[in-house]
Amino acid sequence: MSTNDNQPMLIFGAHPDDIEFGCGAVIAVETRTGRKAHSVVCSLGEAATNGTPELRAAESRAATELLGSTIEFLELDGDARLEIRTDHAIKLAGIIRRVRPSTVLATTCTENQHPDHARLGQLVRDAARLARYGGLGELRENEPHAIEQLFFYAVTPEGEPRDVAPILIDISSQEIIDAWTAAMNAHVTQAASRDYVDLQLTRARLLGARAGVGYAIALYPNDPMVFQSLAQAGRGARQF
Amino acid sequence: MSTNDNQPMLIFGAHPDDIEFGCGAVIAVETRTGRKAHSVVCSLGEAATNGTPELRAAESRAATELLGSTIEFLELDGDARLEIRTDHAIKLAGIIRRVRPSTVLATTCTENQHPDHARLGQLVRDAARLARYGGLGELRENEPHAIEQLFFYAVTPEGEPRDVAPILIDISSQEIIDAWTAAMNAHVTQAASRDYVDLQLTRARLLGARAGVGYAIALYPNDPMVFQSLAQAGRGARQF
Amino acid sequence: MSTNDNQPMLIFGAHPDDIEFGCGAVIAVETRTGRKAHSVVCSLGEAATNGTPELRAAESRAATELLGSTIEFLELDGDARLEIRTDHAIKLAGIIRRVRPSTVLATTCTENQHPDHARLGQLVRDAARLARYGGLGELRENEPHAIEQLFFYAVTPEGEPRDVAPILIDISSQEIIDAWTAAMNAHVTQAASRDYVDLQLTRARLLGARAGVGYAIALYPNDPMVFQSLAQAGRGARQF
Amino acid sequence: MSTNDNQPMLIFGAHPDDIEFGCGAVIAVETRTGRKAHSVVCSLGEAATNGTPELRAAESRAATELLGSTIEFLELDGDARLEIRTDHAIKLAGIIRRVRPSTVLATTCTENQHPDHARLGQLVRDAARLARYGGLGELRENEPHAIEQLFFYAVTPEGEPRDVAPILIDISSQEIIDAWTAAMNAHVTQAASRDYVDLQLTRARLLGARAGVGYAIALYPNDPMVFQSLAQAGRGARQF
Amino acid sequence: MSTNDNQPMLIFGAHPDDIEFGCGAVIAVETRTGRKAHSVVCSLGEAATNGTPELRAAESRAATELLGSTIEFLELDGDARLEIRTDHAIKLAGIIRRVRPSTVLATTCTENQHPDHARLGQLVRDAARLARYGGLGELRENEPHAIEQLFFYAVTPEGEPRDVAPILIDISSQEIIDAWTAAMNAHVTQAASRDYVDLQLTRARLLGARAGVGYAIALYPNDPMVFQSLAQAGRGARQF
Amino acid sequence: MSTNDNQPMLIFGAHPDDIEFGCGAVIAVETRTGRKAHSVVCSLGEAATNGTPELRAAESRAATELLGSTIEFLELDGDARLEIRTDHAIKLAGIIRRVRPSTVLATTCTENQHPDHARLGQLVRDAARLARYGGLGELRENEPHAIEQLFFYAVTPEGEPRDVAPILIDISSQEIIDAWTAAMNAHVTQAASRDYVDLQLTRARLLGARAGVGYAIALYPNDPMVFQSLAQAGRGARQF
């Protein structure tokens, strides 16, 4: 078990609804235990078919509150325009230094999905390294900070990496499912189309069936996990 | 954290020295915390260039004792002759039902290594399923048993799977390193040739460097790990 | 489009319920268009926790009828005991020569699932080759036969290959879903435990969401598919 | 079979000869059936050892005509200078909205080949998504458009992805081979060096041998293909 | 450069024509430089559609002579019946100890090809290990022997591993191509059907084009290659 | 054996210590045989926690001299800021044309490591192509040049590609180990922290154990290696 589990978790999303739809239940799990969580949303979703930037920011704030998390918006290149730039990674590293989380969550780096998702994942992975280096001038405002673990979450099935084994977080308690569903539905302009809420609950139910629980969310570790003993390592998803 | 962490761990090896060389330090870690560990060795190493079966069995017993574990020998097809047979899997499943472990360790299924290693890994993976099924006549003596997690260990670098992310177990304490080294050296007929002890310590030191600790051993989970919260998931090996 | 699409399809399963749970809806789709389908079940499920062999055979017959398919049982090594033997592949090849299908379906060859599933997949893959060779004495009773395509189906999520892109078969019509659900429920002794029916419908719904339809089933082609023009190639699952 | 098979196909190439050498025969197959095809060439090949931009544009026009396709040139960063920029993806998405194809072809995203090929593949993949989103200002001129399928073609053997199963298009008819060969030879400045025409015919003949036909071209689907029944799915390339 | 390059090479094939069709030109290259080569053929091709066992053995002998190699036949389970058995691996290991080669060639272990090919590859890989172990009774007749390198060859395109980088052997000289073609044509009963000779020459020409030479054959190393300096490592196939 | 082995080797590193820590011993091996080696360092390490740019450049010069190599510094985007830009690739291609090496070494393209390492690897791979093309204006100063082989080296274990088989260079002679260790220790500001020198020697010792020698360094070929005969191909690392 981590010795730093009272450090906050920090979650990055490319669009106002990515975080809630992709891993909202995990945030609810963590905040219910008293841990702080902070979300960083890197566009206002202005390229989407539905919803204005103002509406979407308001939806994000409402959703975040339902999960017990705080939120900030960061302007990079704009929705559907995110590029891999060192400046962006440095900005993200600056936030990591300021918030000083033990755990960071970001969208997966899988290529064949919304390009902003894959690129944000890569930028956050780089940022988590830059946050540690002592010599970057733009980052001098805050001390270097080394996070403990970087996990990726997949906003859609297409974003699930095929070559990385996930860990599964049990989100089965009714309280968690309710908070998550409410947070997803807070994205009123998005929830209607294509049954996004139903899609996410279906994904979680299928993973729950694999894990032998009601519902679960998959996270993809960026690095091998280190344990002090096997008693700490999670039980395996072995139902079939 | 597992609710069954006072259940024993069960470790399978194809030859008398596989377990100690491949994951002896992990056993030492677990038994130091009071957990029971039981080793099953599936040949007497009779195909090896050095050592008689009697000598090697005695070496295994001595090594096992140094790790705080118990041991039994199981005759399957003999050293360097192991085949994939259902009868073998059923025998292994019978042991799982009798010992009723939460955690099982076996050699990896990676093909390009000693063929007994790869095949034992596959047989144990199958056995862990068969142990759960209610209708197998030969297994009626003991109740069906579902293990919590199956991990693989690699006896040599060749046996390390390239497509599975390992977890790393911290084995850095001097007490553990001493017990492990003593257990490896108890295999007197094998330890001398090719610097096997040095090879294993070098592997563990390199993994330790990745994990930011002194020494570590890699285990390869057979199934996604399930956690109740992120605070349980291990920190990542993030040093470089 | 295949020139042989009035040839039957042939489906292999290791246990009485594999075919219905794994790809029953695909059979219903095909038989609704007048195509013949024939199921071969390679054990009576005698290792399962629930159900006698007699009961399970009767359930299979009922389920098969609901899908508009015919059925036969083939005794190989028994449930949970299947081994890779040439004799088995030759028996399966004999059935292929007798039924002379254009399409063959079998369980996937993925290793980390019920061992009978993986081995049956491998045996059927070999059998589809042997059925073509002219010189095998045991097969002389029927002329050599070359099938057009071999697809694999995954009985459980664990059986889904990670390194092969599936094709998705649209099974959304209410008639198909009803027939499939009824066929699964005909396996009375199995359907209750672990919510197998619900698991399969959830899997199909998630794949349907990816494909932009109500429900879909994934099949994994053994060989590259050949088309006369792009107009024949299916549209892509592009919803996210 | 697609319901939109009278919609045009749209093919992207990085250099004037990519399209003809990489997938010219597929275009010939489609246009012979009355389907419209449109080529977009994203540089004038000005970094090549042989040929001026003017000559190469003229060669492309001649080759395109021989295949029954139309052509336009798009200036991005210039030959051997293509970078991953959102502006480029938006321009490509604008063309997709204007042409409104059901099928799009682009160079593969495989890294170890001419860098323009890999990057154009990635840009087209992104563009196919952007073309669907309602909120991108630069794209307002044309209605959002969702393509049905994106396939990649490999200009050279190095560009063939190792981890994606191709589909094979039968191009064996003499008429098609003649049109394709003529179109390749129309690139007079390029065809001579390194036996490019012979290379492509050799590749197609080898794939034809796998498919049991005279000649074939491999296309790599970006997404799982969706079929209404197995009768639609292509027969497998099963000759050996 | 190997210090043992006057040791013989040893080539294993499952059927009488595997060796000549799969890697005959490589044998010709080696024997032209005075190295000894010995072929071991593990069935008489009795399951094939064409040719009797007697005819095929005679064809093999003629072909082998044309390549400057010697030959022996080994009976295992018979054509299309090869199984993974330790007894087979021990027999193959016995031959390795007797011939004492530095280099061993065998069919690839890739699954989706003629099952005898994949299994022979696995058996030879195991045999190369067993040949080294001192304690196997059946092998006592000859001293343990450690080979220097094991390479796999692919009899058909289906047998080419997708996840291993090959090395390419330049076989462009007219003398080599002539000897190889003659050796393939010596398999009179097989060469006619399906244009096997043309298939192999087409494969070699395509690989030659990649390597910048006339013709080349791909071999797949079982282990990382060790060099004393970079001057020894081959130049890369870098033409496109 | 390469016919051009008196051509120089050219080594690219992103930071002042990458080359010495990642592959310094290989350079020592080559220069001991009289071959010229030239290092290009693409930043002054100004983002590091320890060391000023001036100090680090001086350390690099000292280290390079100990290896018998020459050195130049190239300014791209600065330490921890490297981006994928065509301008960079063209600059690197210009150096390749000027130095005209047969062998080029660069950091691996593996994503989950210091971002500068992965990007420099990609840029060098592209540059090796651009150096060959005749039409790039900026490169007209020097004749096009085709290198013979591109190898990647991994600065840290994280940078080792999992899906490419390495070649191993034997660096066991005491003279080489001494020169390498001295060159690493010349990076005084870096060598102390995190035991970098010990890490690299441990890595080399483990690879040496696999290769059956004292110490070895792994290089990852970008392209299949071409050999004139098997006697040239290196022996396999087959110890376990």
| Contacts with A111 from chain D: Cβ below 8 Å | 109, 122, 125
Check pLDDT > 50 for residue B3. Answer: no
Check pLDDT > 60 for residue C2. Answer: no
What are the pLDDT digits (tens) for E30-73? Answer: 999 999 999 999 999 999 888 999 999 999 999 999 999 999 99
Question: What would the mean pLDDT of E219-223 be, rounded to a whole number?
Answer: 96
Check pLDDT > 60 for residue F131. Answer: yes
pLDDT recorded at residue C5: 53
What are the pLDDT digits (tens) for A154-190? Answer: 999 999 999 899 999 999 999 999 999 999 999 999 8
| Contacts with B170 from chain A: Cβ below 8 Å | 226-228
Question: What would the mean pLDDT of A11-29 be, rounded to a whole number?
Answer: 98
Burial of residue D232 (CB within 10 Å: 0-12, 13-18, 19+) is: buried
Q: Do E50 and C129 count as a contact with CB atoms less than 8 A apart?
A: no
Which of the four pLDDT bands, split at 50, 70 and 90, describes residue E194?
A: low
Q: Is the dihedral of CA A111, A112, A118, A119 positive or negative?
A: positive
Candidates B126, B140, B145, B149, partner chain C, best to mutate (most C CBs within 10 A): B126
What are the pLDDT digits (tens) for C17-45? Answer: 999 999 999 999 999 999 999 999 999 99
Check pLDDT > 60 for residue C15. Answer: yes
Half-sphere exposure of B107 (CA within 13 A, CB side): 32
Residue A105 CA to residue A11 CA, distance in Å, equals 5
Residue E50 CA to residue E192 CA, distance in Å, equals 10
Which of the four pLDDT bands, split at 50, 70 and 90, describes residue C50?
A: confident
Q: Do C168 and D213 count as a contact with CB atoms less than 8 A apart?
A: no
Check CB contact of D72 with chain F, cutoff 8 Å.
no
Residue B151 CA to residue B125 CA, distance in Å, equals 9
**Gap from C81 CA to chain D (nearest CA, Å):** 30
pLDDT recorded at residue F1: 38
Q: In what order do the strands lie in the sheet with D235-236?
A: D70-73, D37-41, D9-13, D103-107, D149-153, D216-221, D167-170, C225-227, D235-236
Residue A72 CA to residue A152 CA, distance in Å, equals 19
Question: What would the mean pLDDT of F216-234 be, rounded to a whole number?
Answer: 93
Q: Do β-strands C37-41 and C70-73 pair in parallel, antiparallel, or remain unpaired?
A: parallel
Asked if E11 contacts E69 with a C-beta cutoff of 8 angstroms, the reply is: yes
What are the pLDDT digits (tens) for B119-164? Answer: 999 999 999 999 999 889 899 999 999 999 999 999 999 999 998 9
Average pLDDT value over all residues in chain A: 94
Query: Burial letters for D130-160: b for 16+ Cβ neighbours within 10 Å, e otherwise?
Result: bbbbebbeebeeeebbebbbbbbbbbbbbbb
Closest listed residue to residue E12, CA positions, set E74, E68, E57: E74
pLDDT recorded at residue E238: 82
Report DSSP letters for E189-213, one per residue: HHHTGGGHHHHHHHHHHHHHHHHTS
pLDDT recorded at residue B239: 76
Look up the pTM and report it: 0.96
Question: What would the mean pLDDT of E164-186 be, rounded to a whole number?
Answer: 96
Contacts of residue F107, defined as CB under 8 A and 6 or more positions apart, other chains included, come to F12, F13, F14, F18, F22, F116, F117, F118, F120, F121, F152, F153, F154, F155, F159
Tokens matching residue C150: 């071999």
Instruction: Say how many Å lie between the first and final Cα of chain C, rounded.
Output: 28
Residue A192 in 3-state DSSP?
A: coil
| Cβ-based contacts under 8 A for chains B and C | 38
Check CB contact of C240 with chain A, cutoff 8 Å.
yes
Tokens matching residue E197: 């000779």
Closest listed residue to residue A218, CA positions, set A164, A177, A147: A164
Question: What would the mean pLDDT of A59-66 be, rounded to a whole number?
Answer: 97
Nearest Cβ partner for E135 among B46, B77, B112:
B46
Nearest Cβ partner for F86 among D45, D77, D111:
D77
Q: What is the ipTM of this complex?
A: 0.94
Check CB contact of F138 with chain D, cutoff 8 Å.
no
Contacts of residue C117, defined as CB under 8 A and 6 or more positions apart, other chains included, come to C14, C18, C107, C108, C110, C155, C159
Angle CA F47–A39–A226, to nearest 5: 65
**Gap from F40 CA to chain D (nearest CA, Å):** 22
Residue F185 CA to residue F21 CA, distance in Å, equals 9
Angle CA F160–F161–F162, to nearest 5: 110
**Gap from E203 CA to chain D (nearest CA, Å):** 7
Check pLDDT > 50 for residue C63. Answer: yes
Contacts of residue B131, defined as CB under 8 A and 6 or more positions apart, other chains included, come to B93, B94, B96, B97, B139, B144, B145, B146, B147
Query: Burial letters for E61-94: b for 16+ Cβ neighbours within 10 Å, e otherwise?
Result: bbbbebbbbbbeeeebebbbbbbbebebbbbbbb
Q: By CA distance, what is D123's nearest residue in A? A: A115
Closest listed residue to residue C27, CA positions, set C75, C64, C74: C64
Q: Do D112 and F86 count as a contact with CB atoms less than 8 A apart?
A: no
| Contacts with A46 from chain D: Cβ below 8 Å | 135
What are the pLDDT digits (tens) for A181-237? Answer: 999 999 999 887 768 999 999 999 999 999 999 999 999 999 999 999 998 888 899
Average pLDDT value over all residues in chain E: 94
Q: Do D135 and A48 count as a contact with CB atoms less than 8 A apart?
A: yes
Helices first, then strands: H and E counts in chain E: 7, 9
Half-sphere exposure of C234 (CA within 13 A, CB side): 24
CA dihedral C128, C130, C134, C137 (to 10 degrees): -130
Tokens matching residue E93: 């290991």
Distance of alpha carbon C39 from the chain centroid:
8
The position carrying tokens 């970098």 is: F196
pLDDT recorded at residue E4: 46
CA dihedral E85, E88, E90, E92 (to 10 degrees): -140
Contacts of residue B98, defined as CB under 8 A and 6 or more positions apart, other chains included, come to B142
Distance of alpha carbon E52 from the chain centroid:
23
Longest CA span, chain D: 53
Candidates A119, A125, A126, partner chain F, best to mutate (most F CBs within 10 A): A126
The position carrying tokens 């990591």 is: A96
Nearest Cβ partner for E236 among F4, F150, F237:
F150
Check CB contact of A48 with chain D, cutoff 8 Å.
yes
Check pLDDT > 80 for residue F194. Answer: no
The position carrying tokens 């996004």 is: A196
Check CB contact of C163 with chain D, cutoff 8 Å.
yes
Check CB contact of C130 with chain E, cutoff 8 Å.
yes
| Contacts with D232 from chain C: Cβ below 8 Å | 1, 232, 234
Tokens matching residue D187: 């690139």
Candidates F29, F223, F239, partner chain E, best to mutate (most E CBs within 10 A): F223
Candidates A86, A150, A151, A163, partner chain F, best to mutate (most F CBs within 10 A): A86
Average pLDDT value over all residues in chain B: 94
| Percentage above 70 pLDDT, chain C | 97
Tokens matching residue B193: 């040739």
Asked if F80 contacts F128 with a C-beta cutoff of 8 angstroms, the reply is: no
Check pLDDT > 70 for residue F215. Answer: yes
Nearest Cβ partner for B48 among E122, E129, E133:
E133
User: Which spans in chain D are helix H?
Assistant: 18-32, 53-67, 86-99, 115-130, 174-185, 188-191, 196-211
Check pLDDT > 80 for residue E175. Answer: yes
Positions in chain D short of pLDDT 50 = 1-4
Check CB contact of D194 with chain E, cutoff 8 Å.
yes
Residue C84 CA to residue E178 CA, distance in Å, equals 41
| Percentage above 70 pLDDT, chain B | 97
**Gap from C85 CA to chain E (nearest CA, Å):** 7
**Gap from C15 CA to chain A (nearest CA, Å):** 14
| Count of CB atoms situated within 10 Å of the CB of B45 | 28
| Percentage above 90 pLDDT, chain F | 85
Question: What would the mean pLDDT of C84-91 be, rounded to a whole number?
Answer: 97
Which of the four pLDDT bands, split at 50, 70 and 90, describes residue B194?
A: low
Tokens matching residue C194: 């672990």
Contacts of residue F53, defined as CB under 8 A and 6 or more positions apart, other chains included, come to F44, F45, F46
pLDDT recorded at residue D195: 86
SS3 letters for A36-81?
CEEEEECCCCCCCCCCCHHHHHHHHHHHHHHHCCEEEECCCCCCCC
What are the pLDDT digits (tens) for F1-58? Answer: 344 457 999 999 999 999 999 999 999 999 999 999 999 999 999 998 889 999 999 9
Average pLDDT value over all residues in chain C: 94
pLDDT recorded at residue E240: 72
Check pLDDT > 50 for residue E3. Answer: no
Residue D151 CA to residue E33 CA, distance in Å, equals 47
The position carrying tokens 């990670």 is: C162
Question: What would the mean pLDDT of B83-94 be, rounded to a whole number?
Answer: 98
Question: What would the mean pLDDT of E98-116 be, rounded to a whole number?
Answer: 96
pLDDT recorded at residue F187: 96
pLDDT recorded at residue D4: 46
Residue A173 CA to residue B189 CA, distance in Å, equals 55
Q: By CA distance, what is A79's nearest residue in D? A: D136
